[in-house]
Structure 1
Amino acid sequence: MLPNPGLLSWVVLILCPKWRHLTPIALFGPIINAITYTAVVSYTFTHPDPDSNADIKSLEGIVELFRNNDAVFAGWLHYCVFDPLVGLGEVLDSRKTGVPHLFVVPCLVLTMLLGPMGFLLYLCIRALTVYVKDDSFSVQ
């Protein structure tokens, strides 16, 4: 089995944050995963499980939906599309705001593993960096 193409995104985001080809290479994995996601979701909707009471209006319906392996695969692909895009946003924003990449790397790893927690960590580090860089901040 081939590795997920989204892994390429994480490698370049962590190791090559200033590379001029960062954005197109980091987008490659999410694009491939988005195409695959579209195919899987299309198949799942056109071949529904007749015994399923799945719907997206309630937590119980979502739990029922994820009893289907195709739906679980689609859910995983959903993460494989959006998490690297959040990571790309963190890297591009860190360039603009001057957050040192060494501080961004743990955020990227956490975003890869636990999405929103990594994003929240990045926002905290970003806020601290902006505060420290502000002219009114001084350490005595």
Structure 2
Amino acid sequence: MDWDLIFTVTNIYALAMWVILLLAPRTGTVMTGLFYGGVALLAASYAALMVLLIGGIVDSGTGAAMDFSSLAGVQQTLSSPGGATIGWIHYLSFDLFVGIWVARNADKYGFARWLQIPILLFVLMLGPLGLILYLLLRFTRHSKVADAVIPE
């Protein structure tokens, strides 16, 4: 299996979805397209590749079986071309999901797009750090901590 090609294609595809999220109008059609055409497609790619690897239909690039039961096993799995590619697709899918949630929620609470863009870039590049930054920003619109941090 050409893991480099899969990595490149999914990376470029996810980046295109992020550009749309950052710059396009957030109409229902655009957001639905991002969710199903972006998150769901990346998640389905991840799932299909994971099934192929676990089933032994394709090789991860090391010839060893995937092992998530120990730190050494996870390190070995992620150090293989297949494991790293699938792990990266996992990140791409989840980070885009969180980015869509942040964007929709920020729109709901009336945060300007110019303020959302840097936070969304943090979500893209550093995942949880971007989410924490958004939750801190959202806290400025609420008087109770629970209202600021519980996702809606």
TM norm structure 1:
0.80
Matches within 5 A, 1:34-113: 34-47=43-56, 52=64, 54-113=66-125
Q: How far did 1:4 drift? A: 2.8
Pair member with larger Rg? 1
**Corresponding residue to 1:120 among 116, 128, 132:** 132
C-alpha displacement of 1:76: 0.6
Counterpart-to-counterpart distance in 1, 2:121 and 2:138: 16
Structure 2 length normalisation: TM-score? 0.74
1:24 corresponds to: 32
Matched residue, 2:147: none
CA displacement, residues 10-47 of structure 1 (integer Å, 9 cap, x when unaligned): 11221125333221221212222222212211121122
Q: Superposition RMSD on alpha carbons, in Å?
A: 2.3
Question: Which structure 1 segments of 5+ residues have no match?
Answer: 132-140
Equivalent residue number for residue 13 of structure 1: 21
Quick one: distance in 2 between partners of 1:58 and 1:64? 10
SS of the residue corresponding to residue 140 of structure 2 reads: helix
User: Structure 2 stretches of 5 or more lacking a match?
Assistant: 1-7, 144-152
Which stretches of structure 1, 4 residues or more, deviate above 6 A after TM superposition?
48-51
In the alignment of these two chains, the number of paired residues is 131
